[in-house]
A and B are shown apart, each in its own frame.
Chain A
Amino acid sequence: MALMEVRNLVKRFPVRGGVLNRVIGHVHAVSDVSFDVHKGETLGVVGESGCGKSTLGKMLIRLIEPTSGTIRYEGKDITTLDHVELMPFRRTMQIIFQDPYSSLNPRLTVRSLLREAIAFHRIVPRAEMDEYITNLIRKVGLRADAADKFPHEFSGGQRQRIGIARALATRPEFIVADEPVSALDVSIQAQVLNLLMDLKDEFGLTLVFISHDLKVIQHFCDRVMVMYLGRAVEMMPCLDLDEQARHPYSKALLGANPIDDPSDRRPLTILQGDVPSPFNVPKGCPFTGRCPEVIDRCREEMPPAVSHSDGHLVACWVASEGVAECQRGA
């Protein structure tokens, strides 16, 4: 059974305007997204800026309330829980943020920000607190004397490690990593990614890894979900990504990926046009305006997610043509 089952998740942000400050429309951040997260895996979510991947990630741990749809964690629907009922899930589900500068309260030392979380969930008895904190800090690759420093005394990479330590402090099982390395230098990115990988194995974590960088996803994840304008357009195992990607948008993303081998040249498809505004989503497939393979049907109807092979879902009329049983995927 999947650890987390997400069904038809929707998030619309109301847009207010006019003299009376009335709702004049909605921004469709996430539209009808369904997927499963299996225990112990790392699910990558990839897409360009504004495609709703961060909103999705924050909805998974109820930092943002979904407009509709359900999120089941170990079979329990967490979208309807109130603050108190949610408490055990707050402990088991954590998040790592993108910006290591705004994600740490500048007025708290590392020790106090970790202690706050640990004491709140009573993870360890008071007497073992200091030892637990020291261990945690060592685990994320910082020296023990970092505990009594303030965030501004650290570099970006170190701050991100502190952010990871905070996420791990409550002994979670499920972590949403919201572009955890996008704000870091490439050399530091690798360190933090390796750290995350080690910690994932050590603590048996399940990760949802959000990124706009396919390279990072391929390196790090078991499965990948490609998002475009609030919709999941393709979902597949990471290993097959290079050869098996079917959706034109996934192929364009892969094509834009720099290759470190000059002899390996592939035809490059450069997307034309812009992402349509999420305020005014076109009918049919959102990718029609930029898709090189667009057919008339795309403009009329949103393509369903079709299972191409085991664990490979594609939402595209063209790519799914000829796939024998057009069964609706989960």
Chain B
Amino acid sequence: MTGRLLRSRGARKFRRNRLAMAALGVILLYFATAVFLFFGGVSMEATKERVAPKHTPGFFQTPDLDQRLAFAMHFISEVDSATRLASRRDQHPHDILVEKALAERRPARLEPQRYDELLDEAFGILEEELDLVDNIADHPELEPRVERVEEIAAAFFPMPTGWEGRAYWSRTFLGSDAAGQSISIRAIYSIKVAFQIGLITSVISVLFGSLLGAAAAFFGGWVDHAITWVFSTLSSIPYLVLLSVLIVVFFGTIFDDPERPFLSLVPIYVAFCSTFWIGPCRVIRGETMKIKELEYVQAATAIGFGRVYILLKHVIPNTAHLMFINFSLLFIGAIKSEVILSFLGLGVKGQASWGIMIRDAKDEVASYFFWQIGAATFLMFVLVLAFNIFTDALQDAFDPRHVD
């Protein structure tokens, strides 16, 4: 079956379409990432870990002096409170500071008196030279002083080097969000959530919808009436309403527990599957109406095969091209819906999702902080675009009416 498909005329036509092949490459890359993430490539804890002071900008923008000072001060004030606590408890400040490590950026172990020296110097600069200035960003001549404060901060929390440095860079190159969490990690991790929802809902919807659609058209009579009635009734309910109802139904059960990220998606699966199957059902029903009149179906009847056998062996396999196209349409539809729902707060809970990132980024955009919304929309945009190109090419390649 697979081999046949790859050798078919449609597949050859698809392979000649370079744009489509590029889109397929992008999709496969995403898919590989999703698989990697699914098998624990990045743990969920990593998406919640603090990796930098809040709102650290990404690699595109150099922070102004004001911001640089604020980021340096983040580390200095951590050290300040740690040394106070340490002297009261008679501990080495390092023992308290290890708790404050930001991923690979860990505190250096200094002589206890060295902490005080450096802190004194830092506060000296701050209080005597910088405190009187209104807006440090307007005073480039003060840059050497800010740099000195940064050096002190780096003395307390040195930048990791080597492999650790690269790992740290990969966490911070897109900056951090309001909770100091890595935007790059969260954006990438969202691929897994998106694919999980996209794949599960589209596979179930297409299989279920196609089977019902084919059965409706093939058997006709009351089967057709019943199935048509169900999908016309269901399609009048917007899935947003359905999902809200389901969330109420599942409220307080194990499907409402942010600690169980997989189960907490079940309301979304149920809502999506119960509305998404209608599309493939309609399409396959129409196609089956056409196929069941064809002579090879009559030939199968003349041989004496049962109706169910004919449906499964002779009718449904000939609707496979439509199932593929519907699958890729629904896949992208499910991902987009998931993002919208998460944005509204009805969707994913307890784990990263592009929708949640965009929601979190609402207020940041006003202060020129674009990394969060940028990363989430970019990854989603590329995936949706690749899938749209892919679907178009599939349609062109496998639709028998498109003959070149």
Interfacial residues, chain A to chain B (CB-CB below 8 A): 58, 61, 63, 83, 86-87, 90-91, 93-95, 97-99, 102-107, 116-117, 120-121, 150, 152, 163, 166, 170
Contact assessment for A102 and B303 in the assembled complex, using a CB-CB cutoff below 8 Å: no
Contact assessment for B304 and A90 in the assembled complex, using a CB-CB cutoff below 8 Å: yes
Contact assessment for B303 and A120 in the assembled complex, using a CB-CB cutoff below 8 Å: yes
How many contacts between A and B, using CB within 8 angstroms? 54
A58 and B303 alpha carbons, distance in the complex (Å): 13
- Nearest CB of B to A133, in Å: 15
Contact assessment for B295 and A97 in the assembled complex, using a CB-CB cutoff below 8 Å: yes
Residues of chain A contacted by B4 (CB below 8 angstroms): 107, 150
Interface core residue of A91, A95, A152 (most chain B CB under 10 Å): A95
Q: A103-B296, A104-B296 known; 17 other A-B pairs, CB under 8 Å?
A: A61-B302, A63-B298, A63-B301, A86-B304, A91-B304, A93-B302, A94-B303, A95-B302, A105-B314, A105-B318, A107-B318, A120-B305, A121-B303, A121-B304, A150-B4, A166-B299, A170-B303
Which residue in chain A gives the minimum CB-CB distance to B400? Answer: A106
By Cβ-Cβ distance, the 9 closest A-B pairs, closest first, are A90-B304, A103-B295, A97-B295, A105-B296, A102-B294, A117-B303, A107-B317, A102-B295, A95-B302
- Nearest CB of B to A329, in Å: 30
Assuming the contacts A107-B317, A107-B318, asked whether A102 and B296 have C-beta atoms less than 8 A apart, the reply is: yes
- Nearest CB of A to B402, in Å: 16
Assuming the contacts A102-B294, A102-B295, A107-B318, asked whether A94 and B306 have C-beta atoms less than 8 A apart, the reply is: no
Per-residue A-contact encoding for B330-358, CB less than 8 Å = 1, 0 else: 00000000000000000000000000000
A-B contact pairs, 14 of them (CB 8 A): A58-B298, A63-B298, A86-B304, A87-B304, A91-B304, A93-B302, A94-B302, A95-B298, A95-B299, A102-B295, A103-B295, A116-B305, A117-B303, A163-B299
Residues of chain B contacted by A63 (CB below 8 angstroms): 298, 301-302
A63 and B314 alpha carbons, distance in the complex (Å): 17
Residues of chain B contacted by A104 (CB below 8 angstroms): 296
- Nearest CB of A to B204, in Å: 24
- Nearest CB of B to A3, in Å: 18
Residues of chain B contacted by A93 (CB below 8 angstroms): 302
- Nearest CB of A to B233, in Å: 19
- Pick from B299, B301, B304: contact of A103, CB under 8 Å: B299
A117 and B300 alpha carbons, distance in the complex (Å): 8
Assuming the contacts A58-B298, A97-B295, A99-B295, asked whether A106 and B318 have C-beta atoms less than 8 A apart, the reply is: yes
Which residue in chain B gives the minimum CB-CB distance to A86? Answer: B304
Residues of chain A contacted by B294 (CB below 8 angstroms): 102-103
Contact assessment for A90 and B302 in the assembled complex, using a CB-CB cutoff below 8 Å: yes
Residues of chain A contacted by B314 (CB below 8 angstroms): 105
A97 and B295 alpha carbons, distance in the complex (Å): 7
Contact assessment for A97 and B318 in the assembled complex, using a CB-CB cutoff below 8 Å: no
- Pick from B9, B298, B306: contact of A83, CB under 8 Å: B306
Residues of chain B contacted by A106 (CB below 8 angstroms): 318
Residues of chain A contacted by B318 (CB below 8 angstroms): 105-107
Residues of chain B contacted by A97 (CB below 8 angstroms): 295, 298-299
Which residue in chain A gives the minimum CB-CB distance to B294? Answer: A102
- Nearest CB of B to A25, in Å: 20
Which residue in chain A gives the minimum CB-CB distance to B304? Answer: A90
Which residue in chain A gives the minimum CB-CB distance to B316? Answer: A107
Residues of chain A contacted by B303 (CB below 8 angstroms): 90, 94, 116-117, 120-121, 166, 170
Residues of chain A contacted by B300 (CB below 8 angstroms): 105
- Pick from A98, A102, A107, A120: contact of B304, CB under 8 Å: A120
Residues of chain A contacted by B306 (CB below 8 angstroms): 83
Residues of chain A contacted by B302 (CB below 8 angstroms): 61, 63, 90, 93-95
A317 and B103 alpha carbons, distance in the complex (Å): 104
A329 and B90 alpha carbons, distance in the complex (Å): 124
Which residue in chain A gives the minimum CB-CB distance to B302? Answer: A95
Residues of chain A contacted by B317 (CB below 8 angstroms): 107
- Nearest CB of B to A82, in Å: 12
Residues of chain B contacted by A61 (CB below 8 angstroms): 302
Per-residue A-contact encoding for B18-47, CB less than 8 Å = 1, 0 else: 000000000000000000000000000000
A58 and B4 alpha carbons, distance in the complex (Å): 33
A110 and B301 alpha carbons, distance in the complex (Å): 18
Which residue in chain B gives the minimum CB-CB distance to A100? Answer: B295
A166 and B314 alpha carbons, distance in the complex (Å): 15
A115 and B295 alpha carbons, distance in the complex (Å): 18
A83 and B306 alpha carbons, distance in the complex (Å): 8
Interface core residue of B294, B302, B314 (most chain A CB under 10 Å): B302
A175 and B127 alpha carbons, distance in the complex (Å): 106
Per-residue A-contact encoding for B283-323, CB less than 8 Å = 1, 0 else: 00000000000111011111111100000011001100000
Interface core residue of A58, A90, A105, A116 (most chain B CB under 10 Å): A105
A58 and B298 alpha carbons, distance in the complex (Å): 9
Residues of chain B contacted by A87 (CB below 8 angstroms): 304
Interface core residue of B9, B298, B304 (most chain A CB under 10 Å): B304
A35 and B304 alpha carbons, distance in the complex (Å): 25
- Nearest CB of B to A297, in Å: 41
A97 and B303 alpha carbons, distance in the complex (Å): 13
Residues of chain B contacted by A105 (CB below 8 angstroms): 296, 300, 314, 318
- Nearest CB of B to A279, in Å: 20
A105 and B301 alpha carbons, distance in the complex (Å): 13
- Nearest CB of A to B307, in Å: 9
- Nearest CB of B to A62, in Å: 8
- Nearest CB of B to A176, in Å: 9
- Nearest CB of B to A124, in Å: 15
A183 and B304 alpha carbons, distance in the complex (Å): 26
Residues of chain A contacted by B304 (CB below 8 angstroms): 86-87, 90-91, 120-121
- Nearest CB of A to B299, in Å: 6
Residues of chain A contacted by B305 (CB below 8 angstroms): 116, 120
